Structure 1
Amino acid sequence: MRNAEHATSPANMLADHKGETVDFICEDCEILKRLKPAALLEEYGNQTMPSLPELVAKSLGCKRTENAFYDRCKMHFHFSPDEWAKRMGYIDPREQKRGEFRFSDLSRWHRLYVHCSCGRKNELDRERLEKSLGKEALISDAAGKLVCKKCGVKGSAKIIVRSPPRD
């Protein structure tokens, strides 16, 4: 006799939501709604999270939910500015001042430059450094492991994160 497997609910369901509220925003309609997960469960049942913005927009009377292509509803989940920046891969300027960046915090366009106390400056091979130290390593920790090719001193370097200029 085969072992019967229990059916599991798909990932990303409303019942699995851990936050205090679920926030929705539509810039076009100037709507910002904060709803409790319990109230959403009561009204809509255990829906998948991606289906919720459209359901909430319909309940608010948005006519754009009927349009599939042109001028359609743009309601989506709203996140705090910090959460949004984190999800979009942006670096918080306050973090940049503290120098507590990890390689995983950087976007692909960021460049790393090393400045030694002897005056030597050079661009670092980011991929090679990231591969040897790991994505979760602090960039400031990497500076302590570098040896200057000019003066031979280890650990006196400073790593600077820059974005290349736009064309």
Structure 2
Amino acid sequence: MPRNGAYWLSEYAGRIVEFLCIKCERAGAASADDLLAEFGDQSMPNLRYHLASRFGCTRGPNAPINETCKLSYAGAGTVMLKEEPKADDDRTIGELAEYNTIFAQCSACKRRKPVSRWEIQRRYGKDVTMGALAKAMRCKCGKKGASLYLGNMSR
């Protein structure tokens, strides 16, 4: 039974914890008892950052929203999450929630501006992916390509 809204590592004592990351494209498994000895009793959402650091992943809890850790857990042959999350570059504009806002940042001059996702969806359709959109953007400085970040509209 979850405590404080999350499962804890101590609830898996004596079992093998399987994990995979779709961003790093790596997977692994470890004994829950060994993980308890190494990291102590932690919630499973917090433990994922420690497991990801084993891969050399630097995506921590304070990373930008499109660079967050995508490590998930598997158990008994089934994934504990309801559906496997997509990489951010594979998400389409139509899959975003209505309250999401897209920000583009130029890699050369670091200029950051909001992007009208509704205008993009009207022009190119809702099936354009975030990765394709990031590659096609051009800054006023002349540099092609941008980093896209998702944010939430204020209420």
TM-score, L = length of structure 2: 0.42
Q: Which structure has greater strand proportion?
A: 2
Larger Rg: 1
